[in-house]
Chains A and B, each alone.
Chain A
């Protein structure tokens, strides 16, 4: 749970694109973090989307999911939204049940005997109309 987890997905978060859809998300942590400290799981109408099909966009740049762990210089500011893009068509105007698990590995809070980053995980459930 993050301090701002209520606000991860806004009402306009789900949007149809030319090749599929995109989900716009905002961090639930109070301080900007790099993409290397993030992970995502997404279910649409209960069906899990294969993470390896995610494209991740931030600050106008685009990455594959497997590039995520190396992106320690690409920070997502607290007021900006990141984007998950998936090549799976959704119908514009239709309502979808979205379950978005957003994991943040807090790089300055090291927990336990192995000194691993604290996992702040939030799950946003929301019925969203595809824009």
Chain B
């Protein structure tokens, strides 16, 4: 069956090298393009100083890079800073104004999708849909673990999509909701920080068997009072495994995929996330958007290894190329 799934890279993946100034923004774009990906995703506040302000000179440079490396701006990841001042929680109007800044920013840099952070309320979404339509930017609520696409919170967003009938609001599932095996790099780091290896192994085994997170946490609480052991058990709560088939019923509302990963192995598989199972479902559902590599293992190995995000993303893209 022919399919039209495309590949992108979130420059978030290169954050370690970017932060250490081993790679600048252009280097990140070049590295993404070199993998064969054709789309670029960014977090505005991570990649661009003075976000959301943009100068004409920067915009020219940005599109120059897109042409030079033969890539397309795909998605900007937006955040909703509800409480920047202690004790003051944004009103919906303040939140909407902030959201509009992200939409204008995305529009000016050519992004057709905004990844909306999962804690944005359905009420706020409904208030910005027209603005997004006017700027031809699709909004995708991030379906991030521990939520999944059938969670009550996502159902409330789905109701807004259905009620408004808009083509500019959909879902962006994050692959972290398909964590079959807990990320080894994350568990190992917690062991280096003092977690008990035997308890960590127990948690990983139980999670892989599909035991409910709350049971695992309760069992570990019987074994130890050590906070970090409990934190290991809580990984099972924050890194869920849902059946990928759950995506099918909302296939027409999926606009983009966050290809979260923690550890790409030399055989081009992800240690804990069964990409093939998920991509097979996306193909069956006729998904035609981008899957964007989003490497997050860097932060768990930086204490003992030199991070090589470029190689990790290359492997991830090669895996996607084969599976798509």
Tell me whether B299 and A4 are in contact (CB under 8 A).
yes
Q: Which residues of A contact B21 (CB under 8 A)?
A: 79
Selecting from B82-90, B236-244, B271-279, B311-319, the interface stretch reads B82-90
Q: Which residue of A lies closest to B298 (CB)?
A: A3
Tell me whether B46 and A78 are in contact (CB under 8 A).
yes
Q: Mark B222-238, 1 if CB is under 8 A from A, else 0.
A: 00000000000000000
Tell me whether A107 and B46 are in contact (CB under 8 A).
no
In the bound assembly, the distance between CA atoms of A32 and B86 in angstroms comes to 18
Tell me whether A105 and B86 are in contact (CB under 8 A).
yes
Q: Which residue of A lies closest to B16 (CB)?
A: A4
State the Cβ distance, A4 to closest chain B Cβ, in Å: 5
Tell me whether A31 and B45 are in contact (CB under 8 A).
yes
| CB-based A-B contact count at 8 angstroms | 71
Main secondary structure of the interface of A (DSSP, over half): mixed
In the bound assembly, the distance between CA atoms of A75 and B79 in angstroms comes to 14
State the Cβ distance, A124 to closest chain B Cβ, in Å: 13
Q: Which residues of A contact B303 (CB under 8 A)?
A: 6
Task: Knowing A7-B20, A37-B84, say if A108 contacts B79 (CB, 8 Å).
Answer: yes
Q: Which residues B69-104 have CB closer than 8 A to chain A?
A: 79-86, 89
Tell me whether A108 and B45 are in contact (CB under 8 A).
no
In the bound assembly, the distance between CA atoms of A6 and B15 in angstroms comes to 13
Q: Which residue of B lies closest to A110 (CB)?
A: B82
Tell me whether B79 and A31 are in contact (CB under 8 A).
yes
The reply to whether the CB of B49 lies closer than 8 angstroms to some CB of chain A is yes
- List chain A positions with a Cβ less than 8 A from chain B: 3-4, 6-7, 26, 30-32, 34, 36-37, 69-70, 72, 75, 77-80, 105, 107-110, 115-117
In order of increasing CB-CB distance, the 9 nearest A-B pairs are A3-B299, A107-B81, A72-B84, A32-B45, A108-B79, A31-B45, A77-B49, A107-B84, A31-B46
